[in-house]
Structure formats: C-alpha cells, structure tokens
Structure 1
Amino acid sequence: MNEELGIIRHDKQLRPYADTINRRYANTLKKEMELTEEKSSLSEFANGHMYFGLNRVWDGWVFREWAPAASRIYLIGDFSGWQEQETFRLYRLENGIWEIWLEPNQLAHGQHYKLSIHSDSGKFERIPAWATRVVQDNTSKIFSAQVWDPQYEYEFRVKHFKPHTSPLLIYECHVGMATEEERVGVYNEFREKALPRIASLGYNAIQLMAVQEHPYYGSFGYHVSSFFAPSSRFGTPEELKQLVDAAHELGIAVIMDIVHSHAVKNAVEGLGCFDGTPFQYFHQGPRREHPAWDSLCFDYGKPEVLHYLLSNCKYWLEEFKFDGLRFDGVTSMIYLNHGLNQTFTSYNDYYNGKQDEDAITYLALANKLVHLLNPNAITIAEEMSGMPGLAAKQEDGGLGFDYRMAMGIPDYWIRLIKDIKDEEWKPGDIYWQLTNRRKEEKTISYAESHDQALVGDKTIIFRLIDERMYWHMRIDDADLTVNRGIALHKMIRLITAATINGGYLNFMGNEFGHPEWIDFPRQGNGWSYKYARRQWSLASDPSLKYQYLDRFDKAMVNLLKTEKNFHLKPLTKLWDKEDDQILAFARNDLIFIFNFSPQKSFADYGILAPKGKYTAILNTDAKEFGGFAINDDSIEHFTQPDALIKNGNKEWLKVYIPSRTAIVFRKAPE
C-alpha cells in the first residue's frame, strides 16, 4: 500500500504502526471479498434472516437452522403436543444446515415452538437461533419461540426519515422502566407518554436499550439470548414499529443499542450450546467466557458468525426502520483481554498484537453494511480505550463509526465531585478534559448515562445532594446543599454540552435530577420494581425544585439546536484564570462564561472577546431555573477598548458573574 492512510496523515505519531493499520484495512477488504464471493454485495450476504428461521412462503412455511453438530432435529410445539413427530422432522442439507417445508395449515399465528435437537451430547430443546418472536410463559416462566404471522403487516406512515445531526442530541431510554408505576412499561405507553415529553425537551434522537430479547430483565438488556427477537415483555413487534414510526413523525431518530459484544450463557434460551457443542458461535477454550460479564464471547473469525451478526444489523434497520446502531462493549470486542485492568497510556497499547483483529474486521464490515443500507444511518461505538481511527472513515484506515462515546467525561465528573473540594476545581483542566479528543473523529459527550444511574454508582445529582434530596427539594426550602447541587448540576451539563464536537447524550430522568438510582427487580430486593421506574411527576410538581432542572435542560438543548451545526463551530478559549475559577470560551458568536467558585462573585469581570454588542441568552442563575436571578439579563453589554491590547479585534467584555453560575452571551451581528 503506497499511499499513506488518512488517520496516519492526521497523526504522524501513528507512522511506527503503519504496518498494523494497513494490515487491518487490508483484512477488511479481503474478508469482504471472501464473504461476497458468491453474492453481489455485502448487503446481499447479510440476508441470513430471510433464509434461516421460520419464514412464510407462497405455498406454506419453510424453516432452516444451522446446527452442524446435530444428528436429528424436530420442530416441536403446540401443533405437535410438544412431542417429536416425523411430520416435523428437519432434513440435513450441506454445511450443517437443516430444513423443513410445511403446508400452510400445519402452523398458525400465535403457536409456540422450539427445536428438539439430537447430537452426541444427548437430546435437548432449543429456541431457534434466528427466531424473530420469543415469549415467556407467565406461569412456568419458560421461553419459547412463537409463530408470528399477523393478518396485517404494520405499514409505516413515514417512508423515509433523515436524522437531524446538527448536532445529534440523544435521549437514552429503557422502555420497561419509562413508566411511573411499579411494573414493566410497554412500547405503546412509551409511544403515547414518553415520546411527546422527549420531543418537548428538544432532543432529536432516542437511544433504545434492551430491545433484543433477554431472559433476565435485570441484565438491562445486555445478556441477549435471541438476537433477532424484540423483547416481548414490552409488547409486539408491530407495537415497536409503531413506536419508531411515531418518533419519526415527531422528528426524532431512533438508535438501537445493539449487543454484539457477547451473549447470555443460558443454553436453554440462548446460543450457548445450541447444537450440543460449546463453540458453535463462540470461542473454544478460555476465550469462550467473558471473565467479568458472566457471558460468552463470539468467535468473529467464523464466516457463519459474521453472517449471523451482519444479518442481524440489516434486520433491525430494515424490518423496524431504526436509524442507526449504538454498538455496546466495543472495547471488550477489540482487545483479547477485553480492556480489563488496562490503562491505555501509549499508542503501543493499540497495536501490540493483543487485539482481536477478527473483531476489528467485523466492526468495520458492520459499519460499511449499515451505511450501504442507509447512507444517513448513525453508528456509535461504546469504546473507552481511545483506539485511533474508530470513528474515522474506512478509506482513511478507520473502522467507520460515525461517533464514539466520550466515556472518559462521566468518569472525570465522578472523580471531580467525589474527590476534589469545590474551591479546588480547575476550570482549565475541566475544559481540557472535555475537549481532549481526536480532531478527525466525532464524539458523543455526556455527563452521565445509564451506567452512572445504576445501583453501585451514583448519578451526579445524588453525589451532589445525596439523602437530602428526600427532604429538602421543596421550593420553599433554602437548603444550602441542595442549592449547591442544583447550581453545579446545571453548570456541569452546560459545559459538557457546550464543548461537543458531535453530539450530546442524557439518560432519561437525569435531566431533572431523578432522585433515585436504578435497581431492577431481583432476589436481593424482593423482586421489587420500586427503583426500576421513572418518577416523571416530580418534574411537573410546582412545589418541588426538579422543575427547575427540567426547564434548564430544555433551554440548554434548544440553544444547541437553534445554532445550526453548533458542534462544528470552532472552540476558542478566551479566558482561564485558576485563582478566580473563571473559564470563558467562544463558539462562533456565542460566548460561554463559567464561574465555578463556590464563594466569589465578580463585578465588571473582564473577558477579552471579539469586539461588539453582547446579550445574555442563557443564565444558569435565572429564577426560572431555580437560581437567585442576581443579573439583569436584559442589559446589553458593549465591549470596551484597551490601548494596550495589540489585537484590534479584541476588547474587554465586562460582566457581573455570580459564584456557581454560567452565562451564555450572543454577539449581535455587525
């Protein structure tokens, strides 16, 4: 390869690793050629869901399954009294594929079924790997596949939808816990109640978690058993489609949190020992089990596994019209040690031969496929190591993700709040931490996601206020701890959102300071749903302070939206004075000024800024946001010249900036 790849041109420090980067790029091209040797394109290769599993055909039904170690397979279910019958025996084709053709009246919509598989390991029942509908019996709690052939297919009202990404503003959601009642929420309820709220807040995308079927609700959807089946605990496939359609009508893109990094260990519900062998879909030996997640690791070197996972990407995008995929656990996929107990302090950590290059190839192919299917689709990598090129174009030597999660930011906020006194917060360090990223790669910045809301961790508001939230959130209660927490909550969110170079994410409820963590029903809490829900009414209660945070989030999000391509505007630091704990930076005609001092307020504080007239357009201290309204934000500010300043375009912008306050100013057109 003669021409230097783009990611190396952008970063000369990658030159010592050019051979590895070039090899990975070549591996992707080679693997695509191998997979498409008998197909016209990668998209055609990824049609496994149209061939495998149970499919309706013009003269009845056809069912196929890949189970190379099986010696006999039967369909069993309601239609056979759950007994093996020769009428429902599958026949072996080439390459370990099994098949059966059935008459139209041999199966009916709503019937339950499984596979009875015989192999050298014995006889056992399995849910088909390609099942698109899996349900759990309310009494026995046993899962089975379900024949799904409704009389009418759902017809999408929005035929073509293009996500708004200027910038991308993501509301991370879990349908089951989006209800205020102590139970599992459903798709229809989310569509009717949550979507309008999200739209009113101004977010232009939702990221849906726990879509793929998972046997244990408390896994948050990350221990997947049936990769092609939308979780039936939330409703039917048609109701999920209706949810996506309704979001599109509101201008909201729907990104699916897809789990291809591992699979549930359960053999009965999942793929663990599907055909009687432990390594059909997964690695053999010690690489089979994830040491931290109690799950199984896919063998991305197998063509059949690539066929399964790539087809899975295509299935969700085309069948349900998802606008993109957020790939979970990418760090775990691309490192042989899953990134565990590793600090990633040098470039050598990314190119030292301790990476799973089969997984890297798969991710590059998945990104290429997604964008072949929909050029406007969004792909996001949940990746914490910082591997260069993850969100760079494939032709530049990258993996092709549109965005990578800025996972260091929430960790930074936790350390700051937990370990550093307020008066020792350094605004310059905060700014550096929020903007320290690869210029050629777009990121999704966030102060906290679902990870920080889980039991065992704490949300930002909980760390700031803790148990005082339960007793001192009334608007007539002047509790100092609560006042501090509300002020910093707004500032942390604003500076995180204001410094984005791609998008911003918030987990549902965190925008108004949801007072409780997330704890899914489990044996340890008596299978309670008390903490697996969202108390939306707190944000609308006029007697409580949650309304202030809710209003501020809406104002902040809409500020980002009204500034076209806000995330692309150059960031220019204007002022950073550690002793005062003051930071100011500009994005085009907007100036953001932060005073992190817990005690010092400053009158006529001077910031060197482009000369002109400025007006405050957002103030965290405004009364409507629970502040003290010390400033008169209607006052126009004119910069003042200084003969000592050699830059003729810079003058002093003098403002009153109260302690623990951030103000956004807009420069008037000249």
Structure 2
Amino acid sequence: MLATNLSQARVYNPHEVLGFVTTDEGTLKLRAWVPNATRVEVLELQSGKYIQDLALVDEQGLFESAIKGRKKKFDYKFRITNEDHTYEIIDPYQFVEAAFHAVHFVDHAPENVYKQLGAQLVTVNSEDGAIVSGVRFAVYAPSASAVSLIGDMNHWDGRFHPMQKTNCGHWVLFVPGLTEGCKYKFELKDPMGNRLPHKSDPVGFHHEQYPSHTSIVFDQTTYQWNDAKWLEEQAKVDRYKTPMSVYELHLASWRKVSEEEGLRSLTYQEFIEQLIPYVKDMGYTHIEVLPVSEHPYDGSWGYQPVGLFAPTSRFGNPNEFKAFVDAAHQAGIGVIIDWVPAHFPEDSHGLARFDGTHLYEYEDPRRGWHPDWNSCIYDFGRGHVRQFLVASALVWLEHFHVDALRVDAVASMLYWDYSRKDGEWVPNVDGGNENYEAISLLRWFNEEVYKNYPHAFTIAEESTAFPKVSKPTFEGGLGFGFKWNMGWMHDSLHYISKDPAYRKFHHNEITFSLVYAYNENFVLPISHDEVVHGKGSMLRKMPGDEWQAASNLRCYAAFMYSHPGKKLNFMGNDFGQSQEWNYNNSLDWHLTQYDKHKGIQSLYRDLNHLYREYPALYELDHDHRGFEWLDHQDGENSILAFVRKAETTNDKVYSVTNFTPVPREGYRLGVKDAGKYRIVLNSDDEKYWGSGYQVVVEFEAEAQPWQGQEYSVVINLPPLATLLFENV
C-alpha cells in the first residue's frame, strides 16, 4: 500500500515512512523510495564507505533493509543504479529538523514569509556533524492532500520528492545538493486527491517566462550594494517639503532595439545605460515603473501579477534588477514601483484555487471576482493572505532597495460595491459598503513600511473621497504618505481639452482643485491611464491646429508644475508623443529630432530643473500657507494667477496662465513686494517652439494696490502660455 501511494504521489508524511524508520519490533530500518532503480547502496555520508545494499521490497521502487551492526541513526547517502547509469544522492528524508525549521517562525512577522518559505538556500548540520548545503522548500497549502516537489532534480516527476505536511498547513522538504539556478514547481493534489495544474512558487524570487512559468532557486545574498549613502540620506528627508517629480514608465515599451528576429525591449543593464542618464538629464527626481512583479501576460502591463516576490525576468535576473535600482540611487534618482495587492489573475500556475480551495481569494464571487479586470480578489480577512501581501511589499524594500510603493486600485479594495450593481455585492457586518478587512490590511501595510524602512514611502492610487488616505493611522487614516490627485487630473484634462473659446464656461474646473488641495498629501498624476484605451496622447488631447495643440500642452505643463502637489508624468508626455501609448511599441523617439517635439522636451527639462531650484514650488505643497490666489475669477479671459511661497525663505514664485490663443497686453497683476521682478519661465518662448510673443523679462512693481496686494505689475501675456516670475 505504501509503495502504491508513493507511486501515485499521495503521501503526506514522507518523513515518517522514508529514511530511518523503526518497526514495531524496535528494529531500525532504512527505507528508500527510488522509482526505476535496480539497485540502492547505502554509503556513509562523509567517508563514502559502503555499508550495504537495500532490498527491493516492491517493484514500484520501494527499497528497505535493517542496517547490520547499527543501532542508531547516522549520516548516509545512496548510490543508485538504474538501466542507464549510476549516481549518488544524499537522501532528503534524513533531514527532518532541517525541513521543519522552515515554518518555525513564519507567523511571527510578515517578513518571515520570504525568509522562511519558498526556496531557501541553506546549510544544515547533520546527525554526525557534517555540514550539508542544499535548498529548503516550503509552501502553504493546508487543504492539499499531497504535495510533491518537481523540477530539474527529478525530471519533473511528482513521484520522487513527496513533501511533508506540517500541523500548520505548510509542506516542507530539504533537498541536499541543490544550488542556485535549479528550476522547480509544486505538484499538488486537491482534498479529493485530484492532481492540480503544476504551481509556481508563490514566494519564488525568480521565474521563467511563458510557456513554463517555472520558478528558479535564487540567492538573495550575493549582490553587493553601493547605495548605503543614498539610503542613509533618504531616511532623513522630509518628503513633503522636498521636490518630487516622477517619471512614470513601462519598461517593455520605453525603447526597443532592432534585432534579426524583430524588435526587443531593453535589458536591466541597458536601462542603466540609457534610461538613467535620460532621467538625470531631464531633471526628474524619481522613476516609477509599472509593475515589475512577475506576470504572465504582456498585455496586463504588469497589473495581473503572479510572482509578488520576484522582478520580471523579461529584462534580466533579480541581481540585474538590483543593479538597476543601485545605479539609479548612485545617480541621485529614487525608484518607485507599482504594487498590486488588489487582485490576481486566474492563470493555472498561479494562486487561484491554489490547493484546490479558495486559499487566497474570497470564495463568494460577489467578493472574490473582479468584474473590471476578470481577476480574483484576495481574501483580505485571512491571516495568511494578509501576511503574504505585507511580506510581498516588504521584500521590495529589503532585498531590492526600492524607495516607494505606489499601490494600485486602492478604491477597489476599500469598497465592496466598487464597480458592482445592486445585488452583485455583499455588505459588511454593519450593512455598509466599506471593506473593513482591506482597510485594516492597508493600515497594517503602511505601518510596517514606515516602521521598518525609514528611507521608504507609500503612494495610493485612490479615486474616491475616502477620508484621510494619506494621513497617519494614529490619526485614523490609512497611513499612506501620498495620494494621487485624480480629481485634479480629471478636471484639468477635461478643461484643457476644450476649445479655448469655450473654456470660460468651464472655468470652475480648472480652479476647483484648490478647494480640496490640502485635504490629502497629493501627487498630480498625468499617468499611463490617460494616454491609452482611445484617450489619445497628451498632445492629441489638445485642441486647435498644430501650433495651438503644442502650445496648449506646454501651457498646461507649466501650470501643472506651479500648482501645489508633487508631479508625475508618463513617458512620452515630455516630448509630445503623438501616438497613443501602445505597450507593444516603442515610444516615438525619432520625433525628438523635430523642432516642435524638441521644444516640448526642452520645456519639460527646464520645468523639472526650475521646480527643484525654487523652494516656493515644493516646500509647502501640502500646506495652505504655500499658496495664495491672485485672480481665480477672470473666467471671461480664461486667465489664472497665483503665488507660491516657501517656508525656509521669503522668496516667492508667481504663476499666471493665459488659456486662450489671444495675447493680453498690459495685464495687471497684484504682487506682494516692491522692487524688480524677473520672468524665470515662459512656456511660449521660441526655444520651446512658442510664438516668441514679445514679453519684457524684467519689470518694476508699482505702488498700486491690485487683487488684494499692495503692489502690482503690468505685463504682456503671450497666447496659450504660462509665465513664472520671481521678485529679485
């Protein structure tokens, strides 16, 4: 019966029935399960001395014998002969404690998930004191009736390496001799004994691409970091009072290179050589990459991940991703990654019905199925899921040194009725629509990040009016550091896409954001979501002829950089990408040879550097003291004017925008101080492919009160332009 169960990979307790076993009579036997073997010899582990053969007791491959002259356990290995060859292995089933150690501390802290589970390269001390190296495997599958390790070590045959089930639902096995690079998966049987599709390691650090989706043993300790100074400095930074201009990009489509078989994406090493210098030159403070967690489908852009502990192998191995982050830090650039804890795809090698049950997802489809993305929703109320998700966030901070996690689709986590009609969702215990379990998880996640990684911060993509998203948990908030300002994005894009002749009827859309600008710690996002799915590129959103469209874009960009809030722009925005973003194609870099696009790019470059130079543009981004309207009521002329103030200096930056193609000569603006003023940026400048409309660069304030200020200046406003000026 034992041999049959082993042959059918239905054994849940191999450590009890293989290796050294004691019979009812008290005799010590050694038992080996080696399908296809014709002979099994027992050798001393360290000396290699032959001890005896094991007898074949079942033709399916079960060998056992009492060990002559031995009354206690000892270290051993097998010399195995089959029809093809003879080889030696160290029997995994003599290392009971080494295997069980994998789950001793898993539930103590979330980071133990990736420190104990998955495939860990370890060395163990044997019974006789020998030091044995290998890989300790552990996977959580409490409802599985059997689990086997499959991979390079056993020709992907589930019969050879049955795993041991523990009392807490983990399956464990230490396999001596395995090293980094070994490929593996898990073969599970559901509670009824039916074999499930082969599963990748949920806590794997490295995975192959389609079609195998194989997990690969990886050593996290070998990379030598060179960013200690960066991490130390970042831990002291007050992020709310420092500049943050984020360059968001999709790695696969940022730039492609031609090869004989067609276009390919860059590698992590090529991103070091090409992307980082570009970001540095353009003046951005941070790179934000769309999800790099391993994902099976290119068309998901990474937002359907299955490997939450592994950077995608599309562009290289995990150490090469670390080198990319390291190089960014040495160039003075932070790295933000998108993290997706809201949902996961149904791919058979992933988490869906992992052990034959809804182990990771809500069982009720009214809670566990996402209608927008056709994906599974994590069960945020289960302890092992919560620990798994928080661990998946922390691994990016510990092992990969990323600076921030931008959390995707937070709104879909917060509300049971998100994107659902009546009858398609189940209320909470109080009859409401808030998901208390997800709210609790997000708070815990943020607390763990800020407690353990002082260099790091978090950002929420949250599109509702849920209160205190970016306030500390001790104040009743969700604990995020920042929140994307989706209201500003929606209103301002709706406004700027209007023909200038009609903007006066929508003036409130461009001013309304200041009503709530200080409710949260906002980032102003012009993200990938705004240039895809038929929305057109930023340039194509702009009305008018070719010149007016480019002018509108430049005018809007300068307005954005002077508006309170940190900044985020998707790749291609900064040189006027013409075509809508397509994840299969490279950005149209050839456009930058033309004056129009070269001018747009120059403006974004200057805006980034100007933004970092003037504390008034960032120090009080989240404090109402840093902003004052000069004129928000001139809807008839579609003109806005305001002043930004610093905390550490008395310097101010004035911003005035003419959202029409009509120049405004002799336009009077209130200013706070007497003396001279100087224009520091004009989005209509000829060097930006502007009209070059005549504007006096330096001018004197007059002692004429205006717009509630003691002084005023008179300037000419170019068409479709934003001017930034300072007192000198």
Question: TM tier, shorter chain?
Answer: 0.7 to 0.9
TM superposition shift of 1:224: 0.8
Counterpart of 1:656 in structure 2 is: 716
Structure number having the greater strand percentage: 2
TM superposition shift of 1:417: 4.3
Counterpart of 1:495 in structure 2 is: 559
1:247-292 Cα deviation digits (max 9, x unpaired): 00111111110010101111x2210011011344434343111011
TM-score (norm 1): 0.83
Query: Does residue 564 in structure 1 map to residue 615 in structure 2?
Result: yes
Counterpart of 1:456 in structure 2 is: 534
Counterpart of 2:218 in structure 1 is: 148
Conserved 8 A contact 1:435-1:499: no
Equivalence map 1:457-472=2 (5 Å): 457-464=535-542
- Equivalent residue of 1:555, what SS? helix
- Equivalent residue of 1:586, what SS? strand
Unaligned runs of 5+ in 1: 1-37, 343-348, 466-479, 521-528
Counterpart of 2:726 in structure 1 is: 666
CA distance in 2, matches of 1:545, 1:360: 47
CA distance in 1, matches of 2:707, 2:654: 21
Conserved 8 A contact 2:643-2:654: yes
Match among 231, 240, 252 for residue 321 of structure 2: 240
TM superposition shift of 1:459: 2.2
CA distance in 2, matches of 1:155, 1:337: 47
Counterpart of 2:664 in structure 1 is: 602
- Equivalent residue of 2:511, what SS? helix
Conserved 8 A contact 1:180-1:533: yes
TM superposition shift of 1:239: 0.7
Counterpart of 1:374 in structure 2 is: 453
**Closer, same or farther in 2 for the Cα pair 1:199/1:136, shift >3 Å?**
same
**Closer, same or farther in 2 for the Cα pair 1:201/1:210, shift >3 Å?**
same
Identity of aligned residues (%): 26
Conserved 8 A contact 1:116-1:126: yes
Counterpart of 2:70 in structure 1 is: none
- Equivalent residue of 2:618, what SS? helix
Conserved 8 A contact 1:47-1:314: no
CA distance in 2, matches of 1:283, 1:633: 67
Structure number having the greater helix percentage: 1
CA distance in 2, matches of 1:656, 1:251: 39
CA distance in 1, matches of 2:461, 2:398: 23
TM superposition shift of 1:134: 0.8
**Closer, same or farther in 2 for the Cα pair 1:274/1:389, shift >3 Å?**
same
Counterpart of 2:204 in structure 1 is: 131
TM superposition shift of 1:40: 11
Conserved 8 A contact 1:43-1:369: no
> Which of 1 and 2 has higher RCO (CA within 8 Å, sep 6+)?
1
TM superposition shift of 1:395: 1.2
Match among 387, 408, 423 for residue 328 of structure 1: 408
Counterpart of 2:596 in structure 1 is: 545
1:140-181 Cα deviation digits (max 9, x unpaired): x2211112248x811111124244641211111221112143
TM-score (norm 2): 0.76
Counterpart of 1:639 in structure 2 is: 701
Conserved 8 A contact 1:226-1:269: no
Query: Does residue 505 in structure 1 map to residue 578 in structure 2?
Result: no
1:15-56 Cα deviation digits (max 9, x unpaired): xxxxxxxxxxxxxxxxxxxxxxx9999993432111110101
Query: Does residue 581 in structure 1 map to residue 644 in structure 2?
Result: no
Conserved 8 A contact 2:256-2:265: no
CA distance in 1, matches of 2:515, 2:630: 17
1:175-215 Cα deviation digits (max 9, x unpaired): 11121433233211111101110111111111111210110
Counterpart of 1:100 in structure 2 is: 173
TM superposition shift of 1:619: 0.3
- Equivalent residue of 2:712, what SS? strand
Counterpart of 1:526 in structure 2 is: none
Conserved 8 A contact 2:121-2:180: no
Counterpart of 1:200 in structure 2 is: 281
**Closer, same or farther in 2 for the Cα pair 1:315/1:239, shift >3 Å?**
same
Query: Does residue 64 in structure 1 map to residue 117 in structure 2?
Result: no
CA distance in 2, matches of 1:404, 1:340: 24
- Equivalent residue of 1:514, what SS? coil
CA distance in 2, matches of 1:459, 1:341: 32
Conserved 8 A contact 2:106-2:112: no
TM superposition shift of 1:519: 2.6
Counterpart of 2:250 in structure 1 is: 174
TM superposition shift of 1:367: 0.4
**Closer, same or farther in 2 for the Cα pair 1:660/1:71, shift >3 Å?**
same
RMSD in angstroms over aligned alpha carbons? 2.5
Conserved 8 A contact 1:209-1:221: yes
Conserved 8 A contact 1:65-1:97: yes
The number of residues matched between the two structures is 584
Conserved 8 A contact 1:178-1:534: yes
CA distance in 1, matches of 2:142, 2:615: 54
- Equivalent residue of 1:333, what SS? helix
CA distance in 2, matches of 1:335, 1:441: 19
